[in-house]
Amino acid sequence: MPEPVIVLIQPLGTNKAIARDAIRHLTPSVVVIIGGEEGDPRNAVEGLKDDLLGSGDAPFEFALDEDAIKLIQVETINDPDRAMHEILGAVGRAFRWAKQEMKATEVYLNLTGGTKPMTVGATLSCVVHQGLKPLYTFDPRHVEGGPENTVKTMPELSKLQTAAASVMNRRCIMRKRLIKELARLEDYPNTPAANCEELAKLMNASGRQAVNRPLNALEQHGVVTHDSGRPRNYKLTDIGRILLAVID
């Protein structure tokens, strides 16, 4: 069997230890750094290579390869209004490159690293890109069990990815409309109950079944929930509220 190709996408500021811990955990084939515009971008690549190879640890020997560390430079890293969108775009480019050019079998994104707005953008990227696996690097001083336990996967984000995929498809227009309509009903008092019959009327749907099936699908993915009454009244879950912010 061919060797697995693992790519790590790593937003990076000045703290290279974050990258070291994630690389030691994954032993990737390639690391894609996402960094800001400050200074010479080549310094980020060479600085990380020097830091890894200087340790002498076996997991870091991959850095001997000239193309083992790539850089995607973003224009701004501190402006909250722009950094999130910059990182969303940069992670998207890195993910597509890893899948199309590297034929990566696994692509991970370390949510730790860079500025706080970069972290927000990286987290949203995991919602948008199905198959992108999120990691989080903890400070080893606050983790039981030593350095090997500093890097954790985030299964809750994986659930959010699956939920996002269930509504991002072009054929899922009714699911998107239901999410928006439920949010509208929750945000305004004295609105009709959010049951199938009322939702069908509000959305000019062709009957209860037209909303019942997509509601069931949304519930299976943890996007909506309902009360125990008859008829059932639906509302968005926390995952549904998050998806509301990213659907068009």
Of 14-23, 31-40, 88-97, 164-173, the poorest mean pLDDT is in 31-40
Distance from chain centroid for Cα 142: 24
Q: In what side-by-side order are the strands of the sheet with 30-35?
A: 69-73, 30-35, 6-11, 106-110, 132-137, 151-153
Predicted confidence (pLDDT) at residue 145 exceeds the cutoff of 60: no
pLDDT of res. 182:
92
Residue range 199-226: mean pLDDT, rounded: 89
pLDDT of res. 103:
92
**Is 108 in a helix, a strand, or coil?**
strand
Residue range 170-174: mean pLDDT, rounded: 81
Residue range 170-196: mean pLDDT, rounded: 84
Write down the domain spans for the chain: 6-153, 167-246
110-137 tens-digit pLDDT: 988 777 778 888 888 887 788 899 988 8
Residue range 233-246: mean pLDDT, rounded: 86
Predicted confidence (pLDDT) at residue 39 exceeds the cutoff of 60: no
**Is 41 in a helix, a strand, or coil?**
helix
Predicted confidence (pLDDT) at residue 214 exceeds the cutoff of 70: yes
Residue range 178-197: mean pLDDT, rounded: 84
6-153 matches 167-246 in fold = no
CB 136 within 8 A of CB 113: no
Would you place residue 20 in the very low, low, confident or very high pLDDT band (cuts 50, 70, 90)? confident
Residue range 141-147: mean pLDDT, rounded: 57
CATH numeric code, 6-153: 3.40.50.10770
- Cα 247 to Cα 122: distance, rounded to the nearest angstrom: 17
- Cα 151 to Cα 130: distance, rounded to the nearest angstrom: 21
Degrees, nearest 5: CA angle 233-237-241: 115
Question: Would the pTM of this model clear 0.85, i.e. be above it?
Answer: no
Closest CA to 6 of 86, 102, 76, 89: 102
Pick the CATH number of 167-246 from 1.10.3210.10, 1.10.10.10, 2.60.370.10, 3.30.70.560: 1.10.10.10
pLDDT of res. 59:
62
CB 194 within 8 A of CB 182: yes
Mean pLDDT over the full length of the chain: 81
Q: What tokens does 143 get?
A: 């983790």
